[in-house]
Amino acid sequence: MTLDRRSLLGLLGAGAATPAVAQSAHTGQVAFLHGVASGDPDQHSAVFWTRVTPADPSVGEVAVVLEVAHDASFSDRVRRSTGLRALAERDFTVKHDLDGQGLEPGREYFYRFVANGVTSPVGRVRTLPQGATPQVSLAVVSCQLYPGGLFNAYEAIAQLERLDAVVHLGDYIYEYGAAADDYGMTTGAPLNRAPLPPHEIVSLADYRTRHAQYKTDPDLQAAHARAAFICVWDDHEVANDAWMLGAENHQPATEGDFATRKAAALRAYYEWMPIREAKAGGLKEAINRSFHFGDLASLHMVETRLLARNEQMDFANIPKTADGRPDLAAFEAQRQDPSRDLLGDSQRRWLGEAMSQSKAAGRPWQILGNQVVMARVKGPNIEEMVPPAQLAEMIAGLPAEYQPQVQGAIQLFKLGLPFNLDSWDGYPAGRERLYETMKQAGVEPIVLAGDSHAFWVNELYDEGGERRAVEFGTSSISSPSPGDLVAGLPLGLALQAANPEIKFCDQSAKGYILLTLDRDQAVGELRTVSTILAKPYEKKTLKTYRLARTETGLGPLEEVTAPA
């Protein structure tokens, strides 16, 4: 067993205040109600997280110990970190980074916390491999609306035999309230999954309460205990359709300054998530970072919401001609504005350098952890697919508040407009700059996407017609999908038919993607659960795609069919 650096400092008397602080720690009853988690693994360490709940919430701190072992019984303990504290000022969360020390590369460990004689649940974590690495397995997830349904996909992930890490692409929490007409409450009310607090979250206390509620979910706890999470936020960790200076779901007149709300949201995020703290003097928004899986792959996580994103365009504000019709030329000129971007110059330079360096190190796979769909996706012409009477009946069957929105989208899509302006389609100049960065780095990465509540398999081409990447988009854990709203319409098939970059799209299924890499191929399995409204449920693989690695780069994207 090894004592870590902080424990050694305490034993050596690093400051006379240490014993006094320890004496002031609360020694009464505590509980671990929110499970354990690990994140941001490297070759020799990881971030370990938990939350201690004191019976007396007025106390200032609780002393905590972290134990790491080779076995689940902790008979072969390798690390014991003492002197950790769950502080009231951090909502009694504890996050400990082993500072790159003490653990061996590519090995699975077990960990737990102890406070006032109470022991937490046990978690598992695998350090990143070093050197020759035959295989990497990643579960890719996003979008978990608590009232939207049960987190069955997380239970399925927790049961996986082989798993290196879970890649979370954002929308870990949602900000909406618990009113009958709030997002997700048509399922949340009957499932008794109303969000807490019951109003839209704006303050630090609000965001903390919402994070705490999510981490009481047993399936999410099981997934966190199964493997390290590598996370980025998307928009709902702050507010819907967030951008640099605001959000669609933020009203300054009633909700105050957006910067204040964002600061509260990010503080709660860093407290409640197993992610490394922002660098001293750096921006809290700068969570872009890389993870290297031996000599096989690098995962580059980017931030597309708060660092550089311009405000989203809105179909409701589309320019009009003198006779009141949509002015497509003016709309397209605005959409193609060179200043529109998601990454920004600094982050894009970082990404280019990171991919170039990884390629130079001999890693064949570059993976881009990105929040929103990157493919070119124009909306389908629904009126060409569905007879008028059937379409009218379908619209009439929608909730009244959605009918004008759907009718408007149908008319706009007839004009060939993008399916989603919050995705990279709303920022085409920024997308081309990213593709040029990939070209200059000499890589053809696998792009991962979340946000859309749908499954996607796409081939990405630049304006010159050169393939620049392959994209796997994961559906949601429980958030409603567009296909749920228009259940009688084969929306995924319609999008495939209208868009050459889309090889497969499902706009209804819920689940995750299991991405497995070896020296010769990448295999993406679109794994689904049969329901998010009940247990038990059935697990199945909706589609499987294979991408070969050739001497010159990536080979063709091929569907793998199950043997008869």
pLDDT tens, residue order, the chain (564 aa): 544 433 333 333 233 333 334 447 888 999 999 999 999 999 999 999 999 999 999 999 999 999 999 999 999 999 999 999 999 999 999 999 987 678 999 999 999 999 999 999 999 999 999 999 999 999 999 999 999 999 999 999 999 999 999 999 999 999 999 999 999 999 999 999 999 999 999 999 999 999 999 999 999 999 999 999 999 999 999 999 999 999 999 999 999 999 999 999 999 999 999 999 988 888 899 999 999 999 999 999 999 999 999 999 998 888 999 998 889 999 999 999 999 999 999 999 999 999 999 999 999 999 999 999 999 999 998 888 788 888 888 888 777 877 887 888 888 888 889 999 999 999 999 999 999 999 999 999 999 999 999 999 999 999 999 999 999 999 999 999 988 888 778 899 999 999 999 999 999 999 999 999 999 999 999 999 999 999 999 999 999 999 999 877 889 999 998 764
pTM: 0.94
Q: What is the pLDDT of residue 563?
A: 66
Q: What is the pLDDT of residue 515?
A: 98
Using alpha carbons only, give the angle 159, 512, 227 rounded to the nearest 5 degrees.
45
DSSP letter at 12 equals T
Which of 241, 380, 400, 367 has its CA nearest to residue 298? 367
Alpha-carbon separation of residue 32 from 50, 84, 109, 112, 234 (angstroms): 8, 15, 20, 11, 28
| Rg from Cα positions in the chain | 24
Rounded Cα distance between 246 and 118, Å, is 43
Cα dihedral: 400, 401, 405, 410 (round 10): -20
Q: What is the pLDDT of residue 133?
A: 98
Please state the separation of Cα 243 from the chain's center in Å: 17
Residues with Cβ within 8 Å of 333's Cβ and at least 6 positions away in sequence, in order, are none
With both helix axes pointing from N to C terminus, report the angle between 403-413 and 388-396 in degrees, rounded to the nearest 10. 150
Q: Are residues 78 and 2 in contact, defined by beta-carbon separation less than 8 angstroms? A: yes
Rounded Cα distance between 148 and 191, Å, is 9
Q: Are residues 226 and 157 in contact, defined by beta-carbon separation less than 8 angstroms? A: yes
The residue type of 277 is E
CB atoms within 10 A of CB 216: 13
Which of 219, 149, 165 has its CA nearest to residue 47? 165
Q: Which residues pair with 504 in a beta bridge?
A: 457
Residue whose pair of structure tokens reads 């400990």 in the numeric block: 96
- What's the token pair of residue 152? 């069955």
Q: Are residues 450 and 171 in contact, defined by beta-carbon separation less than 8 angstroms? A: yes
Between strands 502-506 and 455-461, the pairing is: antiparallel
Phi and psi dihedrals of 110, rounded to 5? Answer: -115, 145
Helix (H, G, I), strand (E, B) or coil at 90: helix
Helix (H, G, I), strand (E, B) or coil at 343: coil
The residue type of 202 is V
DSSP letter at 320 equals B
Residues with Cβ within 8 Å of 329's Cβ and at least 6 positions away in sequence, in order, are none
Q: What is the pLDDT of residue 287?
A: 96
CB atoms within 10 A of CB 225: 21
Which of 494, 506, 486 has its CA nearest to residue 392? 486
Rounded Cα distance between 287 and 298, Å, is 16
